[in-house]
Structure 1
Amino acid sequence: MLRPFSGDAKRGAVGRAGFGLGITDLDISLIEQLQQTEEGKLRRFFLRRLRNREDAADATQETFLRLLTASPKEDLRNPHAYLFQVARSVAHGITARLMRDSALFSDELDQTQVADEAPSPERVVAARQQLGLLIETISSLPPKCRVVFVLSRLEGLSNGEIATKLGISRNMVEKHIIRALMACRQARLAALPPAGGIAHD
């Protein structure tokens, strides 16, 4: 569970960050109440969409922080609706980032494979390692998730076509794709050498 916010600590942290200068005691009270009553629902909301507990926890924290740093013009008269409006924005941002990371992963793989007509032995080894990593990651996915990902990324089917083909909803197709993209992202990040260092076998 998130650590409860202290009003004084919140005002100090927000002020030091240079955000939320118009936040009031009433706003803080509303946010504290939302944290107490909605945190579990919010975490489940993100878990359904992101399929990863750590990402769901981070997204939950980010949502409450966005409320704290919101412009004083934001309407908190319907705090529950506004909370989940912010949450949807956070989820969209995370999903977009995952898709960018996945595209970068694929681009790097393609560039490694075709950049040179006569690639060096090191580039050949790197390409094989990245291809092996991608295959291993896809193979480790749950069966339905793997099928959806292959149909989407390798066969080029739309989400609607996949939903019809497999007899599942579009929403479920999107969840499977997000889960697969997250797995690719995590595998890619795990394979990167430490900052300032080089990878070793």
Structure 2
Amino acid sequence: MSHHTDSILLATLITYYDDLKAFLTRKYGCRLLAEEVVQETCLRVNQLTHPVALDHPRAYLFKMAANLAVDHLRSEKRRTRYISAEAVTENVSNGMPLPETVIDYQQRLAILQKAIEELPPRCREVFMLHKFEGLSHLEIAHRLKISRNMVEKHVIRGLAHCRDRLRQTFQ
């Protein structure tokens, strides 16, 4: 994949990161799934080896993410950790998360906290400012006096590291 196409896709992904997450959350009703799929989309973009025709990079990314979400849901079903529609509806209606969802979520949080602690200091600082304080890449670049490109690299490295840690645990 040409570096140019790569950087266009990456820039598009970064621009629409939150939109993509919101779209997937609405579509599948699960913020954790959305978060995971967006991270996976980041990894896929990083791993692309052949050039893609990019008339509409945003549409391409949304399609890629939607396909990944479907794959993800299929493999969840196969692992029989699939929860019946009745149980979900019942729990959604009384506003209570399912117990296994809560445990799974707490476990994921603990893994993510540890993964973030493992990041190199500058990478961790950028990642925290972006993900937890909601600063834009430009704001972080100004605050830390580094290039916006460097901010993007740190954010993607942080996401990839967190994703790998989750993968290792939930294989």
Q: Which has the higher contact order (CA 8 A, sep 6+)?
A: 2
Question: TM-score when scaled to structure 2?
Answer: 0.49
Question: TM-score when scaled to structure 1?
Answer: 0.42
